[in-house]
């Protein structure tokens, strides 16, 4: 039936994905309207895939080499795909991006049929857990214009949204490292496979990348590593995701206290935050499957009901559980 690794991930970050709308002087965040009629900020799965791929390349440069001009073919402006020779020479799976995230090589003229690979790793959009109020700020390049001897500026308004976001990653374990005839349907091409140890290492590196994920955007680096990740490990092909059931319990209060203290003859006045209830994440579903084995929490996050999950307070413990699952080790 197939083995699946399912990650439901909550992270905290600021603005991550801008849309084309609003004109050149207004940069608008991607949004989606949900059942309650309110708008929530959306980070597209394409943006997340880009960040995962390029951050993995930084973490594992030898194993996650990115395809370049020698491996990619540009058809027209804005359209590119892997060269057909990579498939013909059975080298397509040497690149994690094509193995994990799939590809399509379109039919051209009188050539043979299109070649496709459905992504074994599915990534959902990330959606903010609270609606947007369309917060924005305006900035201008006044300083640079002045130093260049000019006058005036070119103001730009940018939407912002700092929030918790939730998304899902589902890994079809049995398809990693295999491009079979049943998928490519070419009579002149046998099954393409890589060593199972490399496939398992690739999955481990993917999970490790997600647990430490960063995204560079507009001159800043945002931390997308999880505050909460629910890790489901499934052996029989029947898997669940809780991405649409995770909610933020907004019973979180902050109180600023002004304190006074002496250091020698100097009086120090400080503003300190008294922490009340920290962010609390809940699954809005009373029928929680007993098969769901794990969760991981970071910082001051919590999860209820606790008796349904095993708490893994270290990222290394999550990786250990995934490695046991891939190797079939008994606990």
- Residue 261 confidence (pLDDT): 62
* H or E stretch covering 44: none
Give the chain's domain count. 1
- Residue 200 confidence (pLDDT): 96
- Residue 109 confidence (pLDDT): 62
The answer to whether the beta carbons of residues 47 and 17 sit under 8 Å apart is: yes
Give which of 97, 93, 87, 110 is closest to 185, Cα–Cα.
Answer: 87
Domain range for 299 is 4-327
Cα-atom radius of gyration of the chain, to the nearest Å?
24
Give which of 113, 118, 138 is closest to 25, Cα–Cα.
Answer: 138
> CA-CA distances (angstroms) from residue 33 to 50, 196, 281?
24, 42, 22
- Residue 188 confidence (pLDDT): 84
- Residue 285 confidence (pLDDT): 47
Count CB neighbours of 299 within 10 A. 10
pTM over 0.75: yes
The answer to whether the beta carbons of residues 27 and 159 sit under 8 Å apart is: yes
- Residue 331 confidence (pLDDT): 44
Per-residue pLDDT of the chain (331 residues; tens, 9 = 90+): 789 999 999 888 888 887 776 566 877 778 889 888 899 999 999 999 999 999 999 999 999 999 998 999 887 777 888 998 999 899 999 999 999 999 998 877 656 678 899 999 999 999 998 888 877 777 777 777 778 777 777 777 777 888 889 999 999 999 999 999 888 888 888 899 999 999 999 999 999 999 999 998 887 888 898 888 888 888 888 888 888 888 876 654 434 455 666 656 655 545 444 454 456 677 764 333 444 445 554 444 455 545 566 777 778 888 998 999 998 554 4
- Residue 266 confidence (pLDDT): 56
Assigned token pair, 139: 């900035």
Instruction: Give the side-chain half-sphere CA count within 13 A for 182.
Output: 2
- Residue 300 confidence (pLDDT): 40
Give which of 167, 165, 163 is closest to 133, Cα–Cα.
Answer: 163
- Residue 258 confidence (pLDDT): 53
- Residue 270 confidence (pLDDT): 52
């Amino acid at each position: 039936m197939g083995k699946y690794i399912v990650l439901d991930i909550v992270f905290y970050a600021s603005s991550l994905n801008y849309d084309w709308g609003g004109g050149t002087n207004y940069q608008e965040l991607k949004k989606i309207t949900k059942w309650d009629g309110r708008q929530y900020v959306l980070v597209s799965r394409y943006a997340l895939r880009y960040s995962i791929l390029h951050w993995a390349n930084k973490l594992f440069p030898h194993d996650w080499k990115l395809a370049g001009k020698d491996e990619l073919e540009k058809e027209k402006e804005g359209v590119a795909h892997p060269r057909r020779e990579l498939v013909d020479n059975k080298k397509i799976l040497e690149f994690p991006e094509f193995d994990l995230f799939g590809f399509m090589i379109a039919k051209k003229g009188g050539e043979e049929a299109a070649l496709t690979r459905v992504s074994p790793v599915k990534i959902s959009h990330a959606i903010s857990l609270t609606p947007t109020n369309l917060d924005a700020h305006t900035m201008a390049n006044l300083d640079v214009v002045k130093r260049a001897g000019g006058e005036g500026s070119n103001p730009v308004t940018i939407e912002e949204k700092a929030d918790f976001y939730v998304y899902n990653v589902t890994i079809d374990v049995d398809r990693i490292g295999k491009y079979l005839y049943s998928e490519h349907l070419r009579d002149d091409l046998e099954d393409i496979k890589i060593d199972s140890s490399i496939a398992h290492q690739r999955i481990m590196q993917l999970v490790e990348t997600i647990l430490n994920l960063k995204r560079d955007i507009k001159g800043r680096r945002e931390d997308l590593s999880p505050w909460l990740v629910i890790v489901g490990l499934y052996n029989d092909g029947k898997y669940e995701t809780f991405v649409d059931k995770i909610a933020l319990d907004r019973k979180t209060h902050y109180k600023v206290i002004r304190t006074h203290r002496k250091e020698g003859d100097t009086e120090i006045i400080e503003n300190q935050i008294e922490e009340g209830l920290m962010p609390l994440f809940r699954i809005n579903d009373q029928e929680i499957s007993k098969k769901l084995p794990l969760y991981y929490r970071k910082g001051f996050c919590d999860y209820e009901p606790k008796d349904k999950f095993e708490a893994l307070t270290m990222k290394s413990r999550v990786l250990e559980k995934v490695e046991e699952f891939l190797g079939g080790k008994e606990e």
